Structure formats: structure tokens, C-alpha cells
Amino acid sequence: MTIRHAETADLPALAVLFDLYRQFYQCKPDYALAKAYLEARMSRQESHILVAESRGQLDGFTQLYPTFCSIDAGRILVLYDLFVASEQRRKGIAKQLMDAAHALARDEGALRLDLETAIDNFPAQALYEKLGYQRDNEFFKYSYTL
């Protein structure tokens, strides 16, 4: 298993995984949208995408967005996406992707790495807590749809 930064040549396979990831969160299948979204993030260097590769195929990915924290007056990374193909789960791939994300955040000089997950995504919650993530009990998350 190799964890590395995604390359343009990865887009077709990565878009398949990203489309499956979006379907996990109840989005309709849309390969073209998934590919266009990832292509835009990569070409504009707006995110970091790490992929897990074995036997010449992509088994999973994580996507992180750089941002800042005004309170701590410093850079942070938001781990927004983490996905492993269903047939490759329970092999430690998600943990390897998380470890690579931690290393990337340290290399970027980030103060911390933030993430969110669905309330019913118990496998992800177990991994995050095992890695030392703390559940936020101080702030509520709000969204406004435009």
C-alpha cells in the first residue's frame, strides 16, 4: 500500500471513488460532477488529495482544505473527505490515510486538523477517537443554504 498525493492521471479512478463517497452521504450518482469537482480542486491547488494505491488501483482517498483559525491565529487543515472502497475496508487503509494527513498537516505548519462526520458514521468515529480526536462539545455547527 502506498499513500501519495493524487495526480492528474488519477482523476478517472479517483472520480469513481469520490462519486461513491458522495453516494454514501445520500447524493445521487454523478460521475461527471465528481470528476469536474476534483479536477477543479487539483488544477487550482485548492485542496490536498491523498490517495491509497495498491496493485495499480486506488483503494481510498482523503481530501483536506487549508484554512485559518482566527482564535488561534494560525493555519489549520480541514479533513473534509475520507473514503475507502467497500471491498478494501477493514485493512487499515483509512488509518494510513489519516496518518498521512497528520504528516501533511505538520509539514504545512498547521496548528491542528479538524474534521466532521455523520452522527451515525460509527466506524469513522471509532477510528477518529482511537487516533486521539476529541469530539467538540463547545460549539454547534450551522449551515445556510444559498
SS3 of residue 33 by DSSP: helix
| Predicted TM-score of the model (pTM) | 0.92
Q: How far apart are CA 35 and CA 14, in angstroms?
A: 8
pLDDT at 141: 86
Percent composition of the chain: helix, strand, coil (DSSP 3-state, to 5): 40, 25, 35
Task: Supply the mean pLDDT for the chain.
Answer: 95
Q: Which three cell numbers stand for residue 63?
A: 481530501
Sheet with 2-5, side-by-side order of all strands:
2-5, 48-54, 57-69, 74-84, 112-115
pLDDT at 44: 97
For residue range 92-117, what is the model confidence (pLDDT) as tens digits?
999 999 999 999 999 999 999 999 99
Could you give the domains of the chain?
2-130 (3.40.630.30)
Which of the four pLDDT bands, split at 50, 70 and 90, describes residue 63?
very high
Q: How far apart are CA 80 and CA 123, in angstroms?
A: 16
Which ranges in 27-140 belong to alpha helices (H)? 31-43, 93-107, 122-130
pLDDT at 57: 95
Q: Are 54 and 92 in contact (CB under 8 A)?
A: no
Whether residue 145 is predicted with pLDDT greater than 90 in this model: the reply is no
